Amino acid sequence: MSDLRLSVLVSHHLDGQLPPDEQAELEDVLRRSAGARVQYWREAALHALLHEVENAGALAMPRACLALPRRRRAIAALAAAACVAFSAGAALWSWHGGGAPAPVERTTTAIAVLSRVLDAQWAAPADTHIQGEALAPGWLHLRSGIAQIEFYNGVRLVCAGPIDVHLLSGKEAVLDAGRLSAEVPRLARGFAIHTPRLTVVDLGTAFGLAVDGVHEEVHVFTGRVTLQTASGPVQELHADQAMGVVGDGAPQAMHADRSAFPSAADLERKSIAAQDQIMQAWNQAAAKLDADPALVLHFDFEKESVADRTLRNRAAHGGEVGDATIVGCAAAEGRWRGKQALEFRDQSDRVRASVPGELGAASLVAWVRVDALDHPFNSLFMTDGFAAGALHWQIRGNGSLHMAVSGPAGAPAAQYNFDSPGVFAAARLKRWTQVAMVYDGARLQLTQYVDGQAAGRFPLQGGMALRIGHGELGNWNPASSSDTSPVRNLTGRIDEFAFFSRALSDAEVGDLYRSGSTGIPGDGR
């Protein structure tokens, strides 16, 4: 039978138009010919895909839920149960098809932002805050270090640990213990801080406040404040005046001492000093890394490494592996102040790199800040196209860390997929994370890591060598003649990437995490 004849018969069958004689003809050829069955599935695949594409959106919901009202099935109760079960896994549908939920305006309870954090140790792991975090009303328990809070009305508090401070609202806070300075712009007049014994209401000023057991002090640096004790009259304090109370005693006048309180300038000075130290330590670790004979690519994204659109490969033994090319991508701040990064935000943003040859083992380590999962697949590092041995390292829209290797011709599957679910949940977005992938062809094992810890280990099929060739960081080139391809750019930043031609051990990945994470503000780990 000719391909064309078979194609017509299958088409008739798919449309329910197969008369008995044609049906016998089709069945006969499908029984006899494996080639006909292959062609049948090609036609049938298009049939299913057309139905999916034409119903995009409707199909974003499970068919078991949808089919019912339309077809009026009798087993309504059963199907309703199925729909309930589906909705339990509903998050997985988030990216599916065009079935976006009706737009709902986002809401927030945040009143302030943790604008800077230095050497912070928080009271409890569950109570940890990171630089840049939006703060809703609630307690902050800082054991040591400095944290700067900016209220949305412009009030700035610089808090030195140990301190227990409660943000009540956009214009009120409680200081239970510790030492802070407040700077209140004219527009935010009336901002109040309560301590166990005092209420300080600001009238446009800068002041310091300390609570140490039964001892409390207010120091006014500029402007004026009003001061209310539990029993006494309301008092006004002016610039350079200070007042102290001990227990239930009467307030005592003191000299204002600016140096006794943390200040924004002080925080700035300290963080510049800390930044120099961190950069130095990181530079030493990076230089050691560069000497590794198996290191093929090492991008640090520093200013000195970026010349025009070229990103310098730091690997000392990179050999024929050259520099990368930057397309798009704005410069951005990296893991800590002073560390450079590249930002991927647009579908054009990408860094093109190349790793020649066949690899039996490889390790990829990247420091990334994922801001959002905008696409079904969000690229970390991806070989162009889908040729045999291609490596696709991505984050799926549902937060899974995803690694795929295209199988060689004749392999049972076109592609081998390895998913570590739930890695990029909401809590991990917008914070710097080390991700690593170790492909160990000798031990037939693939391991994915998050912040130095194994997040998933998978057995590998034998005999699959990686062929990277041309690839991209933060995006994907489908290397196809098709005029349309999916958008897979990363939404976020990368500030370091290393590619080894050997399998790193768990301990080595852990060490890289530790040497790279010391400077991350507010992580306290």
Partner 1 sequence: MERTHVTDPEPSPADSHSLSVQRLFVQHQPQLRAFVMGLAPDFATADDVMQEAFLEISRKAAEFALGTNFQAWSRSIAKFKVLAVLRDRQRSAKRLAEDVLEALAASAPLDDDAERHEVAVVRLRTCLEHLAPAARELVRLRYFGEHLPEAIAALRAQSVGAVNVTLSRARTALRTCMERGKAVDSHA
The answer to whether residues 142 and 157 touch, using CB atoms and an 8 Å cutoff, is no
Closer of 21 and 483 to partner 1 (Cβ): 483
Using CB under 8 A as the binding rule, the residues of this chain from 6 to 25 that contact partner 1 are 7-8, 11-18, 23
Closer of 259 and 482 to partner 1 (Cβ): 482
Closer of 7 and 222 to partner 1 (Cβ): 7
**123: which DSSP letter?**
S
Least distance in angstroms from the C-beta of 90 to partner 1:
9
Taking the C-alpha atoms of residue 406 and residue 413, their distance in angstroms, rounded to an integer, is 8
Closer of 90 and 291 to partner 1 (Cβ): 90
Strand pairing of 401-406 and 415-420?
antiparallel
The answer to whether residues 330 and 336 touch, using CB atoms and an 8 Å cutoff, is no
Least distance in angstroms from the C-beta of 189 to partner 1:
43
Least distance in angstroms from the C-beta of 255 to partner 1:
50
Least distance in angstroms from the C-beta of 296 to partner 1:
21
Least distance in angstroms from the C-beta of 344 to partner 1:
19
What angle is formed at CA 516 by the lines to CA 515 and CA 518, rounded to 5 degrees? 75
Using CB under 8 A as the binding rule, the residues of this chain from 392 to 431 that contact partner 1 are 392, 394, 396, 404, 412-415, 417
Taking the C-alpha atoms of residue 495 and residue 350, their distance in angstroms, rounded to an integer, is 13
SS3 106: coil
Q: Is the peptide bond before 162 cis (omega within 30 degrees of 0)?
A: yes
Looking at 100, 287, 330, 387, which residue binds partner 1 (CB under 8 A)? 387
Looking at 21, 304, 358, 483, which residue binds partner 1 (CB under 8 A)? 483
Looking at 185, 204, 385, 408, which residue binds partner 1 (CB under 8 A)? 385
Taking the C-alpha atoms of residue 268 and residue 471, their distance in angstroms, rounded to an integer, is 40
Strand pairing of 215-229 and 198-212?
antiparallel
Using CB under 8 A as the binding rule, the residues of this chain from 234 to 293 that contact partner 1 are none
**93 binding partner 1? (CB under 8 A):** yes
Strand partners, 326: 351
Taking the C-alpha atoms of residue 72 and residue 112, their distance in angstroms, rounded to an integer, is 52
Closer of 256 and 404 to partner 1 (Cβ): 404
Taking the C-alpha atoms of residue 514 and residue 452, their distance in angstroms, rounded to an integer, is 8
Closer of 11 and 518 to partner 1 (Cβ): 11
Closer of 138 and 422 to partner 1 (Cβ): 422
Sheet holding 310-311, edge to edge: 306-307, 310-311, 324-327, 350-359, 466-473, 377-383, 391-396, 401-406, 415-420
Taking the C-alpha atoms of residue 522 and residue 431, their distance in angstroms, rounded to an integer, is 10
Amino acid making up residue 267: L
Looking up tokens 């420091």 gives 367
Taking the C-alpha atoms of residue 152 and residue 160, their distance in angstroms, rounded to an integer, is 21
Closer of 32 and 317 to partner 1 (Cβ): 32
Using CB under 8 A as the binding rule, the residues of this chain from 123 to 182 that contact partner 1 are none
How many Å separate Cα 368 from the centre of its chain?
A: 7
**187 binding partner 1? (CB under 8 A):** no
Looking at 178, 285, 350, 485, which residue binds partner 1 (CB under 8 A)? 485
**472 binding partner 1? (CB under 8 A):** no
Using CB under 8 A as the binding rule, the residues of this chain from 442 to 461 that contact partner 1 are none
**SS3 of 483-517:** CCCCCCCCEEEEEEEEEECCCCCHHHHHHHHHHHH
Closer of 44 and 134 to partner 1 (Cβ): 44
Using CB under 8 A as the binding rule, the residues of this chain from 207 to 236 that contact partner 1 are none
The answer to whether residues 283 and 302 touch, using CB atoms and an 8 Å cutoff, is no
Count of residues engaged in binding partner 1, rule: CB under 8 A:
77
Closer of 17 and 277 to partner 1 (Cβ): 17
Closer of 54 and 304 to partner 1 (Cβ): 54
Using CB under 8 A as the binding rule, the residues of this chain from 348 to 377 that contact partner 1 are 376-377
**347: which DSSP letter?**
T
Using CB under 8 A as the binding rule, the residues of this chain from 33 to 92 that contact partner 1 are 34, 37-38, 40-56, 59, 62-64, 66-68, 71, 73, 78-79, 82, 85-86, 88-89, 92
- The window from 304-312, 355-363, 364-372, 381-389 that contacts partner 1 (CB under 8 A) reads 381-389
Strand partners, 271: none
